[in-house]
Amino acid sequence: MPRIESPEELVKVREEILSRRDPNKPCISICAGSGCLASGAGEVIEAFKKEIEAQGLTAEVDTKGTGCPGFCQRGPVVVIYPEEICYLGVKPEDVPEIVSQTIKEKKVVERLLYEDPATGEKATLESEIPFYKYQERINISTNIKLDPQSLEDYLAIGGYSALAKSLFEMTPESVLEEVKKSNLRGRGGAGFPAGIKWEGSRNAPDPVKYVLVNADEGDPGAFMDRALLEGNPHSILEGLAIGAYAIGAHEGYIYVRQEYPLAVKNVSIAIKEAEEYGFLGKNILGSGFDFVVKVHQGAGAFVCGESTALMTALEGRAGEPRPKYIRSNIKGLWEKPTVLNNVETWANVPLIINKGADWFTQLGTEGSKGTKIFSLVGKINNTGLVEVPMGMTLRDIIYKIGGGIPGGKKFKAVQTGGPSGGCLPEELLDLPVGFDELTKAGSMMGSGGMIVLDEDTCMVDVARYFLNFLTDESCGKCVPCREGIRQMLKILTNITQGKGKEGDIELLEELAEVTQVAALCALGKSAPNPVLSTLKYFREEYEAHIKEKRCPAFSCKELIAFYIDPDKCGACTACSRKCPSEAIIGGKNKIHIIDQEKCTKCGTCFEVCPPRFAAVKKISGEPVPPPIPEEARTITRGGKS
């Protein structure tokens, strides 16, 4: 493909691509994102290719592996166009039936459709499934339509038209104005307005400037940036090039963690193709504007998601944060003005340029415009990525889209904002989700992780979990973060192990306050959030651990025991066969007893005990009843003699 030299040529190339494509030709899109690949999408794609060939349909049907549409819970996800029929949990053995029924006969395979767990009603189309119905998918809906490794696919849906518009119909100033007007706030955590950040760099006197993509998505349980980078890498490149034009940068970097190999691969292919077509490199689309992009792989350090640490890492050094006396948009990478935005922020830029700031500001709330992608995970029926307008309530996200809590359990809290965020209780379920609203409630937006916790989750343990994570990830440069988090972790660990004492809570609060005020970077300053928010909303759980040595969620190993109720045990031997520690004394027709000395409290017995007996109990805060004597253990079954 020769380079495209003008916006007119781009239009022609697009028309030519579309003229070769028949909108009525069946296309089988299979999610090839990391989540679906883990559930076997690779084999499904292979099976489709083989079956299409075997049936002699290669010329009549397109098959493609695409980016992630978000419904990870029910992967591998397959969507068949032009009808948009959505099949879930597809296995290779389902493929011949799909091809012969849906592709050839135009009949729907009922058993692979979404079925509403409450009503039993089936949904044929993607847009009818409740998980998708309540979303506003301005970014992520494109993923299932694209082969991420095909620039043609991106051009076919209007790709790079926003870049052409910026370069030929707008000045850098007017691009900047549009982004400012849209009030697009950074999707990476702090929510700083992107336009204002850009303006600072544009006005900085140094002629050499940089634009960076922060794809060092390290929050556990958050993977929306990966989905965008894997699924639609050109949209990020296009946004980045527009930003570069607006601030006057000619070089950009994508800092992506090496734990995301597919994202690295797809974005590298995208850069190469974009250079060949003339969307990146010298004299882009004949405009005279030059811009190159390079990929830098992170080597596994959470703190590198922090802006100054990321820049230090890009320079080839250990990624430690620097003090921000001068902001990095004035003095950043190699001491040059540098704009760093998150993947999702950049992805929104082409949309804003194409559709206008007025369109963008219609979505969302007063302070938070547009949409936000959340990764809805944990104790939730529909795990996956959800894109909703800012201002939707937590309740709608968790119940309408997420389908509520599995196994009839009770909702306890939702943790937002990653390790630096907080836990919000049931009383706050009607909170509209936005940057300022979440911060006010003691949590934060963060990059968009949303982890649902149910009655079995111990809130002290959740706080301990995050502080353990942050102790590991603290770079160690400043004392308040390095020592403050470590000491808080020590106290929390003691509490979960039943060694908590009076005064621990007060000491935690004191340490939290000092760390918040005195730490160097955002990692340390926000590290106490998990402790403070759980103390604010779940103080009684801390007190139960300390005063009664009881874990109300029956989760902290040192504070619980498993016990088989002799009156209920049916001697089915399920638990004694499955116990990995051989800690259950039983036998045929014998009431089973747990040897408390050997028990590792893994909970296997509790899970395998058939519901008709439900004999295994969790005990906390009280002594385990002594085992019944040997001679009383034999069960004499009635009605058999």
Partner 1 sequence: MDMERVDQIIEKHNSEPSSLIQILLDIQSENRWLPKEALERISEKLQVPLTRIQQIATFYKAFSLVPKGRHGIHICMGTACHVRGAQRVLDTVEELTGIKPGETDADLKFSLETVNCLGCCALGPVMEIDGEIHGNMTPAETAETLKKYE
294 CB-near residues (< 8 Å, 6+ apart): 251, 252, 253, 254, 271
Which residue in 135, 235, 415, 443 binds partner 1 (CB under 8 A)? 415
Which residue in 193, 200, 221, 404 binds partner 1 (CB under 8 A)? 221
Please tell me whether residue 143 binds partner 1 under the rule CB under 8 A.
Answer: no
Please tell me whether residue 259 binds partner 1 under the rule CB under 8 A.
Answer: yes
Q: Which residue carries 């495209």 as its tokens?
A: 4
Please tell me whether residue 39 binds partner 1 under the rule CB under 8 A.
Answer: yes
374 CB-near residues (< 8 Å, 6+ apart): 224, 385, 386, 387, 388, 397, 433, 448, 449, 450
Alpha carbon 310 to its chain's center: 20
Residue 508 has a CB neighbour count (10 Å cut-off) of 23
CB of 19 to partner 1, least distance (A): 39
Please tell me whether residue 388 binds partner 1 under the rule CB under 8 A.
Answer: no
The residue (of 202 and 464) whose beta carbon lies closer to partner 1 is: 464
CB of 214 to partner 1, least distance (A): 16
Which residue in 441, 451, 492, 546 binds partner 1 (CB under 8 A)? 451
Please tell me whether residue 272 binds partner 1 under the rule CB under 8 A.
Answer: no
CB of 107 to partner 1, least distance (A): 29
Stretch that binds partner 1, among 69-77, 124-132, 506-514, 566-574 (CB under 8 A): 69-77
Per-residue mark of binding to partner 1, 15-34 (x: CB under 8 A): -------------------x
> b/e for 435-457, b at 16 or more Cβ within 10 A?
bebbbebbbbbbbbbbbbbbeeb
Helix 459-473 with 479-496: angle, nearest 10 deg:
150
> b/e for 320-349, b at 16 or more Cβ within 10 A?
bbbeeeebbbbbbbeebbbbbbbbbbbbbb
Please tell me whether residue 580 binds partner 1 under the rule CB under 8 A.
Answer: yes
The residue (of 148 and 278) whose beta carbon lies closer to partner 1 is: 148
The residue (of 38 and 326) whose beta carbon lies closer to partner 1 is: 38
Please tell me whether residue 586 binds partner 1 under the rule CB under 8 A.
Answer: no
CB of 122 to partner 1, least distance (A): 21
Please tell me whether residue 223 binds partner 1 under the rule CB under 8 A.
Answer: yes
Which residue in 299, 326, 514, 632 binds partner 1 (CB under 8 A)? 299
Of residues 193, 279, 283, the one with CA closest to residue 14? 279
CB of 265 to partner 1, least distance (A): 13
Residue 49 burial (10 A CB sphere; 0-12, 13-18, 19+): middle
What is the C-alpha separation between 396 and 452, in angstroms, rounded?
13
Stretch that binds partner 1, among 194-202, 258-266, 364-372, 493-501 (CB under 8 A): 258-266
Which residue in 50, 578, 590, 618 binds partner 1 (CB under 8 A)? 578
What is the C-alpha separation between 339 and 329, in angstroms, rounded?
5
What is the C-alpha separation between 19 and 81, in angstroms, rounded?
18
CB of 497 to partner 1, least distance (A): 13
- The answer to whether 224 touches 285, Cβ cutoff 8 Å, is no
Stretch that binds partner 1, among 12-20, 56-64, 159-167, 449-457 (CB under 8 A): 449-457
The residue (of 102 and 604) whose beta carbon lies closer to partner 1 is: 604
CA torsion through residues 436, 438, 443, 448, sign: negative
Which residue in 58, 362, 589, 600 binds partner 1 (CB under 8 A)? 600
The residue (of 526 and 604) whose beta carbon lies closer to partner 1 is: 604
Number of residues that bind partner 1 (CB under 8 A): 54
Residue 632 burial (10 A CB sphere; 0-12, 13-18, 19+): exposed
Stretch that binds partner 1, among 200-208, 311-319, 349-357, 364-372 (CB under 8 A): 311-319
DSSP string of 249-309, one letter each residue:
--EEEEEEETT-HHHHHHHHHHHHHHHHHTSSBSSGGGSS--BEEEEEEE-S-GGGGSHHH
DSSP assignment letter at 625: P
Please tell me whether residue 318 binds partner 1 under the rule CB under 8 A.
Answer: yes
Q: Which residue carries 């109300």 as its tokens?
A: 552
What residues make contact with partner 1 under the rule CB under 8 A?
Answer: 34-35, 38-39, 72-73, 75, 218-223, 226, 258-260, 296-302, 313-319, 375, 377-379, 383-384, 415, 449, 451, 453, 457, 462, 465-466, 469, 475, 578, 580, 600, 602-604, 607
